[in-house]
Amino acid sequence: MTLPLATVATIQGPQQKSITQADVDQWIENLQSLANSNQQDYRRFVNQLKTAIAAEDKKGVNHDVPEV
């Protein structure tokens, strides 16, 4: 599975620049494509995201992220 560059940068460490709305839109488009092409990888990736988000939420840091 190939992840979008912005996603890899986010997972691997500090970013050099902020993620833009265009980055987010592209990431979502790629995720939707993955859902259509490989449901197993899509599910695994979504579960990884949920785990990472839950870990950040446990830290008690307010990222101003709305609940989905």
pLDDT in tens, 10-61: 666 665 678 899 999 999 999 999 999 999 999 999 999 999 989 988 887 6
CB 45 within 8 A of CB 34: yes
The Cα–Cα gap between 42 and 4 comes to: 13
Half-sphere exposure of 27 (CA within 13 A, CB side): 17
**Taking 80 as the threshold, does the pLDDT of residue 7 lie above it?**
no
Distance, in Å, from the CA atom of 60 to the CA atom of 3, rounded to the nearest integer, reads: 28
> pTM (2 decimals)?
0.56
**19 vs 8: CA distance, rounded Å:** 12
